[in-house]
Structure 1
Amino acid sequence: MRNTNTGAVLEAMILPALARGGYDCAMQVLVGERCGGGVHKVDAVATKDGAVVLVSLKWQQSKGTAEQKVPFEVMCLADAVRAQHAARAYLVLGGDGWTLRDYFTSGRLGDHLVHAGLVRVVTLEAFVRLANNAQL
């Protein structure tokens, strides 16, 4: 049986960091449509000093399909930024089951996806540090 509670756990891990950094936060926010259709809901929208930041969370604790979803999520987040739903976006990778984590966080998706530069892919630890220090 698959554990589907990991998303809620990951959300609970970022909320204190966002609060400490002075961000107002809303969870599970609709930000338009995904590439190709369908609703696009992000895990969090953080706001500070009028700047809006979209946050999508992906958890991979063992080998699985989350890695295959990363490029599409980057595309959808970039579209949301381009549609002016936010100033920037983060895709946060949590868990230790990622085999491509270093590749995704290196920024090299930009070699393949034209608007990937609008989305920063980071580890959970890096996101917590950035949020704690109000540097999103």
Structure 2
Amino acid sequence: MSPGGKGTKTGAFWELVIRPVLDIHYSGRFQTHVPVGRQLFGAAYYADFVVRDDAGGIIVSAKWQQVRGTAEQKLLYEIASLISIIRNSDEYRKAYVVLGGTGFSGGARSFLLRNDHRKVLADGHLVEVVSLEDFLSRANKGEL
């Protein structure tokens, strides 16, 4: 689910922000731009990162929203696709959606970071939405 134009450039930057902590704490145990399954509508889904640990694979989707727009509304589709991918795979046990940027509306950001998708999507516990700070803190502790 890559946006076009400027969104692609800011998304690539966002991945560069996350990568150093993975390089330090998960060296040799993560890959970038990995095909992990199919989105709900059938297109291939490429994870920004896949981290491997003793318990299995963890999909990481880095989502940067620099300006207001409809991208935040597409995140529920993203989360539902990730749930489906994990359900249909023996390889992945969990996914993180890492939010960043000032373009998310207050309501959307709050909904997402409270993980309220779990109230409306079956198996919502398989995907956790976190801020960059929370993700980096967990990764620094080796607790993804």
Contact 1:63 1:97 in 2 (8 A): yes
Moved beyond 3 Å, runs of 4+: none
Identity %: 36
| C-alpha deviation, 1:113, in angstroms | 1.0
- More helix, by proportion: 2
TM-fit CA distance, 1:3:
4.8
Does structure 1 residue 15 correspond to structure 2 residue 19?
yes
Aligned residues of 1:28 and 1:43 also touching (Cα < 8 A): yes
Give 1:50 deviation, angstroms: 5.2
Unaligned 5+ segments in structure 1 are none
Aligned equivalent of 1:4, options 8, 25, 31: 8
- For residues 10-33 of structure 1, give each alpha carbon's deviation from its aligned partner in whole angstroms, at most 9, with x where no partner exists: 111111111222352111110111
117, 123, 127: which one aligns with 2:131? 123
Instruction: Provide the C-alpha distance between the structure 1 equivalents of 2:25 and 2:110, rounded to a whole number of angstroms.
Output: 26
Contact 1:58/1:66, CA 8 A, preserved across alignment: no
| Structure 2 CA distance for aligned equivalents of residues 46 and 65 of structure 1 | 29
- Return the alpha-carbon distance in structure 2 between the equivalents of residues 3 and 114 of structure 1: 29
**Deviation at 1:36?**
2.2
In the alignment, is residue 96 of structure 1 matched against residue 76 of structure 2? Answer: no
Q: Residue type of the partner of 2:61?
A: S
1:21 corresponds to which letter in structure 2? H
Question: How far did 1:98 drift?
Answer: 1.2
Residue 9 of structure 1, CA deviation: 0.7
Aligned partner of 2:92 in structure 1 is: 86
Which consecutive unaligned segments of at least 5 residues does structure 2 have?
Answer: none
SS in 2 for 1:4: helix
3-state SS of the aligned residue for 1:87? strand
What TM-score does the superposition give when structure 1 sets the normalisation length? 0.91
Aligned residues: 136
Of 51, 54, 59, the residue aligned with 1:49 is 54
Distance verdict in 2 for CA 1:37–1:3, change over 3 Å: closer
Task: Please tell me the root mean square deviation across aligned C-alpha atoms, in Å.
Answer: 1.6
